[in-house]
Structures are given as structure tokens and as C-alpha cells.
A and B are shown apart, each in its own frame.
Chain A
Amino acid sequence: MVAALEIRNLHVSVEDRPILRGVNLTVKQGEVHALMGPNGSGKSTLANVLMGHPAYQVTAGQVIFDGEDLLEMEADERSRAGLFLAFQYPVAIPGVTLANFLRQALNARLKAKDPDSKGISIPEFRRLMKAKMDLLQMDHSFAGRYLNDGFSGGEKKRAEILQMATLEPRIAILDETDSGLDIDALRIVSDGVNKLRGPQLGVLVITHYQRILNYIQPEYVHVMLDGQIVESGGPDLALRLEEMGYEWIRARHNPA
């Protein structure tokens, strides 16, 4: 059965300030959606609240993931259920190597399925890491580096997609994965995502700019404004936005 992420009338506040004001959106496995919008419209808030960041309070609405109430789950349960967020600003964790971290993440999945699991063997893990790193044209020495510590912007984004490739989520949210990337890095990251595309993966690409959508082509495009999705359409909507700017959307929805 195809899993779906269904966001229904979601209202979210940060420190009692409403940010999301009734978001409705459904992303299914196998689909690629883009969520566009100006800065401050609530796109990243949506990404973080879906992953379960503790700083956000859901004040109304529901999120159903594969038939389960997502909002009742801790962040780690959401991940193990098949949700993934590529962070806009991945946090550095000194002292924890990328390899050690990914192995623990994989083992947490194996143990959740089978409490007696001994986890992935080290040789098997090494093979898996190398294959996934090659997919993203990452030097193998990356595995021994501390997580995001001293990584360049492009390296951080590649490391996020590496995690996505390794953890094989059912629904992945890419939060401004394109921000700050030069064209070469953008191409590598997008290629990586495209190689993972398929009937098992649903993707929600959150972006301010249309550019990444030239590489990761969506079937659906949504526009967020002031905490609500105000327009939905096909890929042509992104092109119109690029041409006419967000003011065009704003004028349509907040006539002065």
C-alpha cells in the first residue's frame, strides 16, 4: 500500500505566535511536490513541525502518516516510520563521526523491527556507506569526520542527502536544500535525489527559488503565503512564480 503524509488544517505557533494558519497538503509515496513561498511564509516551520521539533506547538489540526497520527510520535518514531527531513541548517555535532552516527541510525531501525537484532555488521555497513557516498560523489574520508563539524555548505547538504539515501525514507522533506549551493553542488545533490526517486519515495521540496526545480522536477507545486497554502498547480506554476515574483501571488490573495 502506498503511504501518504496528510496534513489537515494544521495550525502551529512558536512562542505563542501563530506561524501556520491552517495548512492542508497530502504527499504520497512516488510523488514529488514542491512547496514554494517567500521568506517567513512558514515553509521551514512546516518542515520542522512535521519532524517533531520541540520548539513548535501544534494548536489545531492533524497530520496522518501512513494511517497513524504523526503528531503523537516522538521525532525518532517519525523517522523510523519512514519520514525524513533534510535540514536547511544541519547542526554540527563534534565528537560524533558521520559513520558512527549513521550506523546507530540504521541499528535503531533494525532494533525497532526486531529487538534481538544485533545490528548491521561493520563490513556490510562499510560497503553500504561507500556505495551511497559514491552516489553523491563524496570522498570516503567523509565517513570519519565529525558530523557537520567544519563542513562547507555544500558538504552539509550532501551529507543530508547521504543520510536520506542510507535511511531510505518513504516521504522525504528537503528544506531549502538548494540554499547557498553553487551550481555544481546543486547538480550533484539533485542528481542524488533523482537517483532515489521512484514509487517508494515521496518528496516534498521546500524552496524559495525555482532553480532547484529544473533539476528535481515536481509533479505538483504549492505556494505558501502567511502560513497557508494559497495556490496549488503543476510545474508551470513554479515557472510563473519565477517570472512574476511572489508579489503577484500576494496581490492575488491579499488585495489591498
Chain B
Amino acid sequence: MVVAKQRRRTSAPAAPGYTLEDVKALSAAHREPAWLAESRVAAWEVYEDLPMPSLSDEDWRRTDYRHIRWSEAETIIQPNGASVAQIPASKLEPLIGDQQAGLLAFVDGQVVQREFSTQMAGQGIIFTDLLTACREYESLVRPNLMTKAVQPTEGKFAALHAALWTHGVFLYVPRNKVAELPFHVVIHNTRPGASLGHVLVVLEENSQATILVDYTSAPTDQHCAYIGATELLVGDAANLQYVGLQDWNRQTYEFSHQRARVGRDGNLDWIVGTMGGRLVKAYMELELDGLGAHGRMSGFFFADGEQLFDHDTQQNHNAPLTVSDLLFKGAAKDSARTVWQGMIKSLPKMQKIDGFQASRNLILSKTARMDGIPGLEIEADDVACSHAATFGTLEEEPVFYLMSRGIHRSDAELMVIDGFFDELLQRIPFERVRERLQAAMEAKIIGM
């Protein structure tokens, strides 16, 4: 089949109304070290040189965000009387095990709760907010902040983030240290407007950690923007489990860049759950840099109403004997739209690599639309790379089968949909994370 390329007549998306003065004002308000303030200004210059991404860009052609009202969404959220009491209590409970190594909670970008085991601190592990880290641990932050993983040059929103990030988290685990208990980060906004959050995780050689970041915001009728970046630097033989759970209010437009680098024999287990927001454009890129590096990416999403989720993943095999395994499973109902586009790439002569990607989509209404676009660019011959994308609807046969055993139709449908997600949930080794995702999913299904 030949598909004629159509030239779309589109108006270019509007940009938010920030200026260099906003960047400088932010640095001044934070009393930032000079190197950081300078890096923001440099990023601003990059930002000004880049166009807003539009439907004529290949990776944006399915994601039209021109309906964002920047007049509301660009206002940077200012904390005002922020307190931990504003966070729903359920969000503060440990999601991984009963105990945690640390909890860092933000409300409207301000730290409202800070817990960190002294035993961990005694081992040289650092778990703090990114501004504090920039002031106190320059030698650890500066070489790693937006230099190795997410760089300002890779896109308009990456550059904007680098210029204007408002808050963030820094987790650092020194060589040979193991943080046995998990770290928990809660990022909650009570006010409408823009927030630009950053996660920077640095695991030195042969270290280990688990961290969960939970994003939520209170409902509002005004548009909000989250322009985020996540950087995961996994050293040689280090082991990171990273869980990101997103449940923004329905007015939030998320534009985020997330990239992980994994060193020789390192291992990353990367899990994301996307439930909230009005529109999500998330780049998630895995760079397997060292011989034998291993990365697993698991994505759970469920879009309803008018939501649009666009996950853009890359598995880059930059060394021989690297292994990647991606599974994205999602559902869409009402007039929701989802896009997953994935690419497995290998550099030339990277032999014995093993890359896999699968996108499984469950379409729950006639007006929902799901796209799954796998891709391979392999420049080596001794490789095992494969991909798959499947699309299905809720079938009557299994529902009837369950009903024939006395189960109500609504419960039967829920069981079949639950069953669809089970393969993905089985990849999440944390019971309460699974329960959280299941509960969010069930709430969306019952809202049918």
C-alpha cells in the first residue's frame, strides 16, 4: 500500500512567554552558585535557537499540543504556605516494603518533608533536593547534571527545562555501597501553573539502589505544564530499580525527557506508570554503554476521557553483549489517544546484542485510538533483536465465559482487563506499586 504524504497546513505551536529575565530571577531567588546560574543562561540561549516542536516533526506528528493555554500554564508555581499536610496521606506511605531509606516530599516545588536514614548518610549516600545538592555537592552534581544523559540541545523542552528547572531530587550512591531500603520521592502540586522537576540519580560502580518517584497534583480548571527531566546514571556493575508513577490532574501537559545510561555489566529496571495528565509527551531513552549492560523498561498506561499519552522510547545498544527488554502495555477508552513509538538501535559492530520490544494495546471504545510503532536500526549482524505491536479490543468470548460461572458482567470485564495487564504487573516486584496501578486502572474502568 502506498500512502501519499500529505503536507499538513498547520500553524506553529505558540511558545510560553518566558524571557532571559525569568531565568536570572529564578537563579537569584534560589541563591544559586554561579556555575549553575551560568549553565541556565547557556541553556536559555540553546532554547532561543530551537523552534517549538510541531506536527511536521516526525516524533510530534501524532501529538498536537497547540490547545495548551500558556497564559495559564506558563506561570511558575510559587509555593505559599506549602506543607506536608497538603499531600494525600496515602501518597506518603511506603510503596516498596514497610520501611524506606528516605522520603523527600515536595509541595508546589518546595521541600516539605525530608527523611533520610542516618545509617545511609554514614555510608556516603546522598539523598536530597537538587538545589541543596548543587550548593553542597558541586563536585558530584556539576559533572552529571544535564551533561551525560539529558542535554539541553536535544529539544526545545529539554533546553527550557535546563534553563528554568524549579526543583528536583539528587540521589547519589558511592562505589560498592548498597542502599537496601528504597527511596521515595513525592512531588505534589496544589496550585495550577508550571513546574519543572528534575530527577538525577548517580550510582557509582558496583552500587545499588531502588527509588520511586510519585507525581500528583490537585484538580484545577486551569492549564498546567510539567516540563521535566529524569537522568539515571548507572555505573559499571551497579544496579538500579527506578519506578516513576505519574498521576497529574487532567489539565496538565507534560513534556519530559528521561534518559538512562548503564555502564559495563550494570543493570537497570525501569518502570513507569502513566495515568494522569491531559497530554503527555515523554521521551524515555536507554543507553547501554558498557559491555554486558542490561536494561529493562516496563510501561503501564491507561488513557481515558480526552487524554493523549505519547511515549517515545529508545533502546540504544552502544556496546557488545548488551541486553534490553521493553514491554509497554496500555489501554484507552472514551476518546483517548495513545502513541508508543519505540526504536532499538545498535552502533556498528556491536555484536551479540539482544534487544526486544513489545507494545500491547487494549482499545476499550470505538472512539479511542492507539498507535504502536516499533522500529529497529541495527548495524551489526550477530544480534537477536525483535519487536512486536499488538492491538485488541475487549472480547465478548472471555467475558461470557466468566459470566457463565456466575460473575457479573462488570466484574468479568474488569477481570479480563486486569488479566491483560497482568504480564506487565508481574514485572513489577513491588506489591503496593502493583496495587496502586490496579486501583487507578479499576477507577478508570468503572468510570466507563
* Interface residues of A, Cβ cutoff 8 Å to B: 51-54, 74-76, 78-80, 85, 87, 90-91, 93-96, 100-102, 104-105, 108-109, 112, 146, 163, 167
Contacts and interface: CB of A to CB of B under 8 A. Distances in A.
27 contacts: A52-B400, A52-B404, A74-B403, A75-B403, A76-B403, A76-B405, A76-B406, A76-B408, A78-B404, A79-B405, A80-B406, A87-B401, A91-B397, A94-B422, A94-B423, A95-B419, A95-B422, A95-B423, A101-B402, A102-B405, A104-B402, A105-B406, A108-B406, A146-B422, A163-B405, A167-B405, A167-B406
A36 to B, nearest CB: 23
Given A96-B416, A96-B422, A101 B405 contact: yes
B406 A79 contact: yes
A76 B423 contact: no
Given A76-B408, A146-B419, A93 B403 contact: no
Contacts of B411: 104, 108
Contact of A91 (B398, B415, B422): B398
Contacts of B347: none
A184 to B, nearest CB: 26
Interface in B407-426: 407-409, 411-412, 415-416, 418-423
B423 A90 contact: no
A90 B397 CA distance: 9
Contact of B419 (A78, A85, A93): A93
A94 B406 contact: no
Nearest to A104: B407
Contacts of A79: 403-406
Given A94-B419, A96-B416, A146-B419, A108 B400 contact: no
A11 B419 CA distance: 36
Interface in B104-127: none
B21 interface: no
B238 to A, nearest CB: 33
B186 to A, nearest CB: 30
A105 B406 CA distance: 6
B221 interface: no
A112 B407 CA distance: 10
Identify the 4 closest CB pairs spanning chains A and B, nearest first: A95-B419, A95-B422, A79-B406, A75-B403
A104 to B, nearest CB: 6
A87 B397 CA distance: 12
Interface string B168-207: 0000000000000000000000000000000000000000
A112 B411 CA distance: 13
B411 to A, nearest CB: 7
B396 interface: yes
Instruction: Report which residue of A78, A85, A102, A104 has the largest number of chain B beta carbons within 10 angstroms of its beta carbon.
Output: A104
A143 B329 CA distance: 25
Instruction: Report which residue of B406, B407, B412 has the largest number of chain A beta carbons within 10 angstroms of its beta carbon.
Output: B406
Contacts of B402: 93, 96, 101, 104-105
Contacts of B408: 76, 108
Instruction: Report which residue of A90, A94, A95, A102 has the largest number of chain B beta carbons within 10 angstroms of its beta carbon.
Output: A95
Nearest to B401: A91
Instruction: Report which residue of B398, B402, B409 has the largest number of chain A beta carbons within 10 angstroms of its beta carbon.
Output: B402
A96 B406 contact: no
A51 B404 contact: yes
A248 to B, nearest CB: 35
A52 B398 CA distance: 14
A109 B401 contact: no
B212 to A, nearest CB: 24
B400 A54 contact: yes
Instruction: Report which residue of B404, B411, B416 has the largest number of chain A beta carbons within 10 angstroms of its beta carbon.
Output: B404
B420 A76 contact: no
B404 to A, nearest CB: 5
Nearest to A90: B401
A167 B403 CA distance: 13
Contacts of A96: 402, 415-416, 418-419, 422
Given A76-B412, A95-B422, A105 B401 contact: no
A93 B416 contact: yes
A249 B21 CA distance: 95
Interface in B351-388: none
Contacts of B403: 52, 74-76, 79
Given A74-B403, A105-B405, A105-B406, A54 B396 contact: yes
Contacts of B396: 54
Instruction: Report which residue of A52, A94, A109, A112 has the largest number of chain B beta carbons within 10 angstroms of its beta carbon.
Output: A94
Given A101-B415, A108-B411, A93 B405 contact: no
Contacts of B405: 76, 79, 101-102, 105, 108, 163, 167
A75 B409 CA distance: 9
A80 B408 CA distance: 10
A101 B406 CA distance: 11
Contacts of A74: 403, 409
A132 B294 CA distance: 44
Nearest to A163: B405
Given A91-B398, A96-B422, A104 B415 contact: yes
Nearest to B414: A104
B418 A95 contact: yes
A193 B409 CA distance: 28
A10 to B, nearest CB: 18
A76 B422 contact: no
B404 A85 contact: yes
A93 B420 CA distance: 9
Contacts of B400: 52-54, 75
Contacts of A90: 401
A144 to B, nearest CB: 12
B409 A76 contact: yes
A112 B406 CA distance: 9
Contacts of A53: 400
Nearest to A76: B403
Contacts of B418: 95-96
A100 B402 CA distance: 11
Contacts of B412: 76
Given A93-B401, A96-B422, A108 B416 contact: no
A141 B112 CA distance: 48
